[in-house]
Amino acid sequence: MSQTQVVVSGTKSAPKLRVDHLGVVYDRDGQSMPVLEDINLEVRDGEFICIVGPSGCGKSTLLNAMAGFLSPTSGSVSIDGETVTGPDPRRILVFQERGVFPWLTVEGNIGFGLSKLPRAEREKRIAHYVKTVRLEGFENSYPSDLSGGMRQRLQVARALAVNPDILFLDEPFGALDSITRVIMRGELLRIWEAVRRTILFVTHDIDEAVQLADRVVVLSSRPARIQDVLTIDIAHPRNISSPRYLELRDELLKQIGLAYEI
53: contact with another protein by CB under 8 A = no
95: contact with another protein by CB under 8 A = yes
Tell me whether strands 82-83 and 74-79 are parallel, antiparallel or unpaired.
antiparallel
- What element of type H or E holds 106? helix 106-110
State the number of CA atoms in the 13 A half-sphere of 54 facing the CB: 18
What minimum distance in Å lies between the beta carbon of 93 and another protein?
6
Q: Which stretch binds another protein (CB under 8 A): 17-25, 43-51, 136-144, 184-192?
A: 136-144
Sheet (strand 215-219) strand order: 91-94, 166-170, 198-202, 48-52, 215-219, 226-231
186: contact with another protein by CB under 8 A = no
Q: Which residues pair with 18 in a beta bridge?
A: 42, 78
230: contact with another protein by CB under 8 A = no
Select from 133, 101, 106, 128 the least CA-distant residue to 117: 128
Q: Which stretch binds another protein (CB under 8 A): 74-82, 95-103, 201-209, 254-262?
A: 95-103
- Helix then strand then coil, in percent of the chain rounded to 5, is 35, 25, 40
Q: Which of 7, 22, 49, 92 binds another protein (CB under 8 A)?
A: 92
Q: Which of 44, 46, 69, 205 binds another protein (CB under 8 A)?
A: 69
What minimum distance in Å lies between the beta carbon of 251 and another protein?
34
Task: Closer to another protein by CB, 60 or 227: give it.
Answer: 60
67: contact with another protein by CB under 8 A = yes
- Name residues contacting another protein, limited to 142-181 (CB under 8 A): 142-144, 162
Dist. CA 182–CA 38, nearest whole Å: 34
What minimum distance in Å lies between the beta carbon of 69 and another protein?
6
Dist. CA 252–CA 262, nearest whole Å: 15
Select from 159, 157, 168 the least CA-distant residue to 49: 168
Q: Which of 23, 26, 101, 205 binds another protein (CB under 8 A)?
A: 101
Query: Where does this chain bind another protein (CB under 8 A)?
Result: 67, 69, 86-89, 92-93, 95, 98-99, 101-104, 112-113, 142-144, 162
